[in-house]
Structure 1
Amino acid sequence: MAILIDPPVWPAHGTVFSHLVSDSSYEELHAFAARAGIAERAFDLDHYDVPERMYADLVALGAQPVRARVLVKRLIASGLRRRKHLEPRS
């Protein structure tokens, strides 16, 4: 049971972003995000997109830094992976 974060390498909006996920539940992920002050609108199906400026603070709060490949594998293994082309947006 862990909150995972990958390196901030995903470019958008003039910065780079990390993905923040839980390998146990969305409840754990949403609770961590709320404690960290991450806006709900940053949630995208199965992860939060977080800007590089938040990375060190999220790690200090307990997010485990992992490579992107590891993050995806653990998310899939947890059964929490949602793919955009398979999931309708609400």
Structure 2
Amino acid sequence: MSVYVDDAVFAWRGQRWAHLMADTLDELHAFAARLGLPRRAFQDKTSGAHYDVPAPLREQAIALGAIAISRHRDRALMRAVIARAKAQGRGESP
């Protein structure tokens, strides 16, 4: 099982943000808790189950073992991770 964090490319509130996603929701929530993210920050949407993390926290996630994925270099893996996150957001099993 793995946790992934994409490139911090989304600008919001003066920061760059990334998405934290995982193979399973249990793993995602456990990892987010290790980062100090509150459960209320979880975004359970049909666009994909994830947590938004600012760029500095993205670096901490990588240091804790999250796999850094790039929308530019890891396209096939990125598509698979997003598809899994969307299924999780719809309440489907991975």
TM range (shorter): 0.7 to 0.9
Alignment of 1:5-16 (within 5 A): 5-16=5-16
Alignment of 1:1-90 (within 5 A): 1-23=1-23, 25-45=24-44, 46-68=49-71, 69=75, 70-76=77-83, 78=84, 80-82=85-87
Residue 40 of structure 1 deviates from its aligned partner by 2.0
Q: What residue ranges of structure 2 are gaps of 5+ in the alignment?
A: none
Q: Percent identity?
A: 35
Question: Quick one: which amino acid aligns to residue 57 of structure 2?
Answer: M
Which whole-Å CA distance do the structure 2 matches of 1:72 and 1:20 have between them?
Answer: 14
Considering only aligned residues, what root-mean-square deviation do their CA atoms show, in Å? 2.3
Q: What is the total number of aligned residue pairs between the two structures? A: 83
Residue 83 of structure 1 deviates from its aligned partner by 9.2
Q: TM-score, normalised by structure 1?
A: 0.78
Q: Which has the higher strand share?
A: 2
Q: Is the 8 A contact 1:16 1:52 kept in 2?
A: yes
Residue 32 of structure 1 deviates from its aligned partner by 0.6
Which whole-Å CA distance do the structure 2 matches of 1:54 and 1:16 have between them?
Answer: 10
Question: Quick one: which amino acid aligns to residue 43 of structure 2?
Answer: D
Q: TM-score, normalised by structure 2?
A: 0.75
